[in-house]
Structure 1
Amino acid sequence: MSGYTQDQAYYGNGYQKSISETHSWRTAENSCAYMLSFIKSTDVILDVGCGPGSISCDLAKHVPNGKVVGIEPTEQLIKEANNHKYSNGVKNAEFKIASAYSLPFEDNSFDIVHCHQVLIHLEDPETAFKEMVRVLKPTGYVCSREADLRATSVYPPKYEDTIVEYFLLKTKNSSTSDNRGRSLRDLALSAGIKLRHIHSTVSTWCISNDDDRKWFSEMFIKRMKEAKEVLVKEDEEANTRKREEIIDSWNEFIDDVRGWLLFVHGEVICQKEF
């Protein structure tokens, strides 16, 4: 492994392309709608935990006279983000290897600091949030959107013990939180943001129509077959059985016209005082 993965448990198994591929469909429109009205064309935005760069490059379109800087602790993801940037002809985005726990920027450097599904995976989200506030300019905004996996729901109910369980089992055997979305106000307050400057919202992803069920299920089937995520700890045989059981459910979900999968996300926009 290269970069700063040693201080972030989420990367304990190193870079895995099958995982980053499940992040590359995310855009500013489907993942950052709650904050787009706060962006000015001249803003300089820091995207903490930019992953494969799809959101960062989309955000760059909203700041034609500014720029977006994306950071990740793994060299491989930075390469993916740069490839996305070049293939989409994005001129005003750049990507750096860095840790969310120690951002390599001076105080008061950015108009907006954004993170999406990052704090959910950190063992020490408080330190990361304080760092995001530190590098934010006075009157600027920290914007965070994090899943609340405990609120995930599915229909028909027969998929609860497989598809929903998949997302919850990962939280039991990793640093990932199952309720980070609902704790964002608490994190903001702990970072010194005044209550009057915290705006909270919620949004969802709903996977239900035929094309979405097929695309989403096949994406996670590939991830489950290729990634090294632990579902049943210290029992490889049971881990394999559970993996196969969940893959079977994903395959069934593809053709289930009743199928409906809902993810809930907590969101905060926090303004920094002078």
Structure 2
Amino acid sequence: MAVYTTDHSASVLKTHSWRTASNSAAYLLPHITPTSKILDIGCGPGSISVDFARHADRGHVTGIENVPGPLDKARHLAASQGVTNVDFRLGDIHALEFPDDTFDIVHVHQVLQHIADPVRALREMRRVVKGGGIVAARESAAMVWYPENPALDRWLEITQRMGREKGGNPHPGRYIHVWAEEAGFARASIKKSTGSWCFSSPEERQYWGGSMGERVRSSGLAKTAVEEGYATTEELEEVSEGWKEFVEDEQAWFGLLHGEILAWK
């Protein structure tokens, strides 16, 4: 059911660790109360989960991942920051091991695009959220950058093709509300919005472009792309050089638009 095209290597966790509640879930923050009980699905290294726990300081946050790799880092992050109202465990988004009506909020960020049956997943999320509770989802919808860079065009082509052919749904942010309706949410109960990331300063370009360049050299994405014929090693090296050019260009910027939904049960 999972069709994630990369892994949880250092370059991948580097990008995930940058994500916080403020830069990746601002649309949800006004709805978190001090006593909220929250499920964060696909928590990765825990940076968003730990932020949620600070906002729900008299509540509790549970973060789940389908593989154990990132969870030790998530636990270390919480412990290093003195956040105790959060726990991390293994879990499957398609078959959540929680009773019906358990959580006030169920959150997912950049996960639905990586699974084969997002409607089933949203149905499970709806099951475990309480009546009157919220299922929150945010997925990428579109990417744009300046200046033109054929290597980045090739990067996008490779990653989208891999995602589609493995059964995923690359950049589905523009239609996640449709999946929510199919999962049982009433149309009137779904609030749609957008959010974006922009990487333009030297530090931002180094973070984003540097991480993406590392991914095409050394992550599971690179290994899979070569082994399964999506790209050659030489092509990936060219893509990596393209990201280096992006980082070094003082006029360069990269924008990523997200679609967001809040769905009330």
- Give the structure-2-normalised TM-score: 0.92
Match of 1:203 among 179, 195, 200: 195
1:222 matched residue in structure 2: 214
Letter of the 2:61 counterpart: V
1:122 matched residue in structure 2: 115
Indicate whether 1:152 and 2:146 are aligned: no
Query: In structure 2, do the counterparts of structure 1 residues 111 and 87 end up closer, same or farther at CA, with 3 Å as the change threshold?
Result: same
1:101 matched residue in structure 2: 94
Query: In structure 2, do the counterparts of structure 1 residues 165 and 206 end up closer, same or farther at CA, with 3 Å as the change threshold?
Result: farther
In 1: Cα distance, 2:67 partner to 2:228 partner: 27
Query: In structure 2, do the counterparts of structure 1 residues 199 and 37 end up closer, same or farther at CA, with 3 Å as the change threshold?
Result: same
Indicate whether 1:10 and 2:1 are aligned: no
2:182 matched residue in structure 1: 190
2:45 matched residue in structure 1: 52
In 1: Cα distance, 2:157 partner to 2:147 partner: 14
Q: Once the two structures are aligned, what percentage of the paired residues are identical? A: 37
Letter of the 2:215 counterpart: R
Query: In structure 2, do the counterparts of structure 1 residues 215 and 176 end up closer, same or farther at CA, with 3 Å as the change threshold?
Result: same
SS at match of 2:43: coil
In 1: Cα distance, 2:211 partner to 2:86 partner: 27
- Point out where structure 1 has 5 or more consecutive residues left out of the alignment: 1-6
- Quick one: higher RCO (CA 8 Å, sep 6+), 1 or 2? 2
1:133 matched residue in structure 2: 126
Letter of the 1:32 counterpart: A
In 2: Cα distance, 1:54 partner to 1:14 partner: 18
In 1: Cα distance, 2:197 partner to 2:162 partner: 19
- Point out where structure 2 has 5 or more consecutive residues left out of the alignment: none
- Give the structure-1-normalised TM-score: 0.89
2:64 matched residue in structure 1: 71
1:117/1:146 contact within 8 Å kept: yes
Letter of the 2:214 counterpart: K
Tell me the CA shift for residue 216 of structure 1. Answer: 1.5
2:15 matched residue in structure 1: 22
Query: In structure 2, do the counterparts of structure 1 residues 14 and 171 end up closer, same or farther at CA, with 3 Å as the change threshold?
Result: closer
Tell me the CA shift for residue 14 of structure 1. Answer: 5.8
Letter of the 2:75 counterpart: N
In 1: Cα distance, 2:114 partner to 2:62 partner: 21
Deviation per CA, 1:73-108: give whole Å up to 9, x if none: 111222221111111211100111110011110000
Tell me the CA shift for residue 264 of structure 1. Answer: 0.9
SS at match of 1:85: helix
RMSD: 1.9
In 1: Cα distance, 2:158 partner to 2:251 partner: 20
Of residues 111-120 and 202-211 in structure 1, the stretch that sits farther from structure 2 once superposed is 202-211
2:149/2:242 contact within 8 Å kept: no
In 2: Cα distance, 1:161 partner to 1:271 partner: 38
Deviation per CA, 1:7-59: give whole Å up to 9, x if none: 42327x76534322221110000000011111111110000111110100011
**Number of paired residues?**
262
1:4 matched residue in structure 2: none
In 2: Cα distance, 1:227 partner to 1:250 partner: 15
2:163 matched residue in structure 1: 171
